[in-house]
Structure 1
């Protein structure tokens, strides 16, 4: 059973106590930059992560929501020591993080083929495992003075609009906000106009008619208050999830200054935060779907032709992604990397189904499959 994100806090206090026991450590306070509003479920998960670290050590984490660094400032701010750790969006830096963005561009695999209840949890696991085993990925974070510790992902993407959109014809000429190149290509495939805006700009853009729709998770009805301005939601399409996030990148010098025991506590907390954050988005999306009508939001099913055309797009786009990342970003062995990512997505579909949407179970899977395999003495130390 999944818990609503606002109910997770009590579960976090007791979850995984036996498995994730850790010694008390020396007192120190780290500053975390999260460029999202205070009530956003990501920020709430970050605060519960800080609680976990404090509970299992004397290490403290102070979470700054939209006050220390903006989303676009977080990566260079971490590099320059303005924060100790933070929520980084590699999609804002296509050249610097091309290896990570390759994985994020393949997120539609999570909703294609075999269906699972929480596709975001699939991409969280697949992306984290892939990056941690990928020397090229680790090197690009190191070049930015950062240590990558994990990912997260939204629930499945839908269209939140200020006008009804259900068919291929309805999409023609519509202005759609996109946060990732693959969603931009999907929009353009059907004659829509892709508009690049940050998540924090969606509300104003919809309310002023700058865009007709935003491609985002249903949870944005609450997370960014879009229920006020998006009165129609087209479900199922474009599909995929937003997985272009590095949940808690550390400044490399700060990470290397911690003891092995401190790093272990943080890694155990990361397994918990990934599950909490990702399922928080899924739970909130499910809850928002259930309350949409009473908030004046109409849910629409896409037409059969739009669903079929979207499935065809996912398959066709694989070749586009391979060529783009090879030619434009110089990624080597792109075909083999895409094959590995595809394999991991299918693996994680099975693991996520077995966890059955439960935070504790999913956190344990993330720990068992990824974090427990890292060498505390050497990981991120070079």
Structure 2
């Protein structure tokens, strides 16, 4: 009898322990996701968007979904970020399409001159084009896109020479973020030098380049106020960017957790655009504080630039159409959606 009672006691105890373990697993973290990007941890997109995503996933899943952020290219260089999501090194990654040219030909429409005048506007355009054109979706079919967006409009950040006219660009070595910007800079008479944004500071400081096409948030974020003397406002182009997720990582989420992530992603493009525009204004404020001269080109001067780069746009459309891709249709839709 005692043996039977002992046996029942042990079985009961084991059941309680197993139940406790099971409850702990169910209430524990179902998904631990990694988010990789190339910006510093103080960048406004991390503080205002990625960390907001981190909090949202945690709170709305009751702690069932955790996000660990890896800034400053900790998991890979800027041009490696997309593949980090493809192969699962990172669950989610963010970077610039133009850092790996040729892979996203239609997506590069936003890199063409004079499509948008702000990151928020450009991001709305980019996300809408993705939603409307299966051909752009197909360029991202090896990942699960969360949202596409654009960086701030690129301005000319010059180390020593003010750029007040087309003629001032002649022969200058200028950092370029994309293939399309390379072509535009060549048309404008400059010498394009391709490099990620993280390399601008050192390249300006060492004289490798004379100026950089970049968003003005870099004045703060990359401390470019230390090496830049002039900023010329051109709004000539924006860089298309992505926030994408590994397919298996997304598929492994519960339906409830997918819904939380998907809901956040629906406003991701606009919220990222707003953050970048705010960062740009902060960059301009810092530039003024540091005594950097800010040059606003007159409308007739901007018109001169637009005329010079128009063949670049026509060449892109022809290249896409010759490949059987809807280049003209996508460009026309981008212009229709924009205000530029």
Give the structure 1 partner of residue 115 of structure 2.
Answer: 109
The equivalent residue for 2:336 is 343
> Please, which runs of 5 or more residues in structure 1 have no aligned partner?
1-23, 112-118, 350-382
Residue matched to 1:332:
325
Bigger radius of gyration, 1 or 2?
A: 2
Whole-angstrom CA distance in 2 between matches of 1:107 and 1:61? 36
Distance 1:289 1:302 in 2: 16
TM-superposed deviation, 1:238: 5.0
Partner residue in 2 for 1:288: 283
TM-score after normalising by structure 1: 0.75
CA distance in 1, matches of 2:106, 2:254: 29
Match of 2:19 in 1: none
Farther-moved stretch of structure 1 (218-227 vs 81-90): 81-90
Which shifted more, 299-308 or 33-42? Answer: 299-308
Report if the CA contact (8 A) 2:145-2:244 is conserved: yes
CA offsets, 1:305-346, max 9 Å, x none?
53221232454433122023344xx35232222223333335
What is the root-mean-square deviation in Å for CA atoms of aligned residues? 2.3
Mapped contact 2:111–2:238 kept (Cα < 8 A)? no
Aligned counterparts of 1:146 and 1:138: Cα–Cα separation in 2: 10
Choose from 169, 172, 175 the match for 2:170.
Answer: 172
**Matched residue, 1:139:** 138
For this pair of structures, how many residues does the alignment match? 309
Matched with 2:30 is 27
Q: Distance in 2 between matches of 1:282 and 1:171?
A: 26
Unaligned runs of 5+ in 2: 1-26
| Residue among 241, 245, 252 paired with 1:245 | 241
**SS state at 1:263 partner:** helix
What do the CA deviations read for 1:11-47 (whole angstroms, capped 9, x no partner)?
xxxxxxxxxxxxx996321111112221122222212
CA–CA distance in 2 between the matches of 1:296 and 1:337?
Answer: 41
Conservation of the 8 A alpha-carbon contact between 1:177 and 1:215 = yes
1:64 to 2:70 alignment: yes
Q: Distance in 2 between matches of 1:187 and 1:141?
A: 28
- 1:38 corresponds to which residue? 41
Residue in structure 2 matched with residue 198 of structure 1 by the alignment = 196
Find 1:255's aligned residue among 240, 250, 254.
250
Distance 1:238 1:129 in 2: 21
1:1-382 to structure 2, matched below 5 A, reads: 27-44=30-47, 45-57=49-61, 58-65=64-71, 66-101=73-108, 103-106=109-112, 108-111=114-117, 119-142=118-141, 145-163=142-160, 164-235=162-233, 237-242=234-239, 244-246=240-242, 248-302=243-297, 306-313=301-308, 315-327=310-322, 330-345=323-338
The answer as to whether partners of 1:168 and 1:190 remain within 8 angstroms in 2 is yes
Gap change, CA 1:53 and 1:174, over 3 Å in 2:
same
When residues 172 and 150 of structure 1 are mapped into structure 2, their CA distance, relative to the original with a 3 A threshold, is same
Which residue pairs with 2:9 in the alignment?
none
Q: Is contact 2:173–2:190 with CA below 8 Å preserved after alignment?
A: yes
